[in-house]
Amino acid sequence: MPHKIYDKVAGNGLISRRYLLSIGATGIGAVASSTVLGADAGINFEIPSWSRTPGPGASAYGAPSRHTQHFQRTHGAPNATYPGGGSSRSPLQHLQGSITPNSLHFERHHAGIPDIDPSGHHLVINGLVRQPLVFNYEDLLKYEMISRVYFLECAGNSGALLRGGNEDGTAQSLHGLVSCAEWTGIPLSALLDEAGVLPEAKWLAAVGADAASMGRSIPIDKAIDDVIIALFQNGEPVMPGQGFPMRLFVPGWEGNISVKWLTQIKLTREAAQFRDETSKYSDTLHDRSSYQFTFPMGTKSLITSPSGQMSLDRPGIYQVTGVAWSGSGSIRRVEVSADGGQTWADAAIQGLQLDKALTRFTIPWAWDGGSAVLQSRAIDSLGNVQPTRDAILAERGNISTYHNHCIQSWSVNSFGEVSNVYV
């Protein structure tokens, strides 16, 4: 329980970082043996079993504790009419920092995960080029690589929130289609230089080697700006679910365009009109007209703790923390409100603050036991401000639910129960 003075920085309990949490216990009853360095009055525990006997030695590939193995991605059951289709969502409410571990990075598959033998995989660059080229995996490993920390977000992330409902949702179930990693690979521009792009080439068509032949079109200006052929993720080869042996990585843009299991790049005059840029991933508006292409992901943030399905034990100080990102730049600032958007205070950025990467924010909140609505609002380096849900509904409606980057609200009731709410 807090017993110190602290300064209020916004309504309904948001406080400054100058405080002592002071929940370390004093005077716990003695049990048995003393601690290693001798006991103080009242601090005296039995030496636990794991301190009495040596444990097993090192392993070749480490694994999480059995006590945290419930921190897993959620994913749908197999579906006979859409084999291998579906997604897995990152357990955002259990994660910290900016980096997502590879095994918990979200995934979206359109025909499951191909088991590719890299020695039988090729990357073809053809179409409007001076010289069509074929690369194998070993060839590509010889090129100069760059490493960048980037978020990846599915265009459909948070989509259901535009329709309403989802009172029982968690950060994972509502927003778990976003993650962040250090991606390492070859600048696409280096390979295009070798093939020699012809002046009439304005787009490229990227195709994956999965059974869906997932394909997407990318404007040539973006392709030569910052797109990479990613071979490594957080240091190790990309996992099969992320596109092993290689994927396209298109920084800041909707996840679907970062084609996994990349096998072909064809330079073209026009967009290829792939299935996944006509029947899907296009934004239909109120009047039934559509934006075919909405590439950059919006300026966005969400509070990951507290999250829906959590309960606050008792009134006191809690750290409100979450992640923010923008497909157009870095995060300049994140504001948090505890009164449903009436007043706001700046959260602290507590870690990496990089271009097109998840940025961790945190602010202490003194919950008084009453009702509250927690929100976060991101501002990026271009000055873009995360919009309200009402603003997005007014602009686009909810026929399409792609590209929802609105402010999200967690309600806390007087029992401390946290749930998704619309305000």
Residues between 26 and 85 with contacts to a second copy, criterion CB under 8 A: 26, 28, 35-43, 45, 48, 50-69, 71-76, 78, 83-85
Residue among 9, 10, 13, 88 that touches a second copy (CB under 8 A): 88
Task: Find the binding residues for a second copy in span 333-362 (CB under 8 A).
Answer: 348, 350-352, 360, 362
**CA dist list (Å): 264 to 70, 93, 138, 308, 396:** 38, 37, 17, 42, 34
Task: Find the binding residues for a second copy in span 181-220 (CB under 8 A).
Answer: 181-184, 190-191, 193-195, 205, 207, 209-213, 215
Task: Find the binding residues for a second copy in span 307-326 (CB under 8 A).
Answer: 317-319, 321
Q: Does 87 bind a second copy (CB under 8 A)?
A: yes
Least Cα distance to 234 among 177, 180, 183, 178 occurs for: 183
Which residues are CB-contacts of 64 (< 8 A; sequence separation ≥ 6)? 71
Q: Does 165 bind a second copy (CB under 8 A)?
A: no
CA gap 71, 69 in Å, rounded: 5
Q: Report residue 398 as tokens.
A: 């909810």
Nearer to a second copy, 19 or 291 (CB): 19
* Residue 233: CB minimum distance to a second copy, A: 8
* Residue 13: CB minimum distance to a second copy, A: 15
C-alpha torsion sign, points 368, 369, 373, 377 = positive
Nearer to a second copy, 186 or 379 (CB): 186
CB 63 within 8 A of CB 81: no
* Residue 292: CB minimum distance to a second copy, A: 19
Task: Find the binding residues for a second copy in span 278-307 (CB under 8 A).
Answer: none
* Residue 345: CB minimum distance to a second copy, A: 14
Nearer to a second copy, 147 or 278 (CB): 147
Nearer to a second copy, 108 or 403 (CB): 108
Task: Please tell me whether residue 277 adopts helix, strand or coil conformation.
Answer: helix
Cis bond before residue 245 (omega within 30° of 0) = yes
Residue among 6, 11, 111, 219 that touches a second copy (CB under 8 A): 111
Task: Please tell me whether residue 195 adopts helix, strand or coil conformation.
Answer: helix
* Residue 67: CB minimum distance to a second copy, A: 6
Task: Please tell me whether residue 376 adopts helix, strand or coil conformation.
Answer: strand
Nearer to a second copy, 287 or 313 (CB): 313
**C-alpha R_g of the chain:** 24
Angle, CA of 267, 121 and 182, to the nearest 5°:
80
Q: Count Cβ atoms within 10 A of the Cβ of residue 393 and give its class: 0-12 exposed, 13-18 middle, 19 or more buried.
A: middle
Q: Does 368 bind a second copy (CB under 8 A)?
A: no
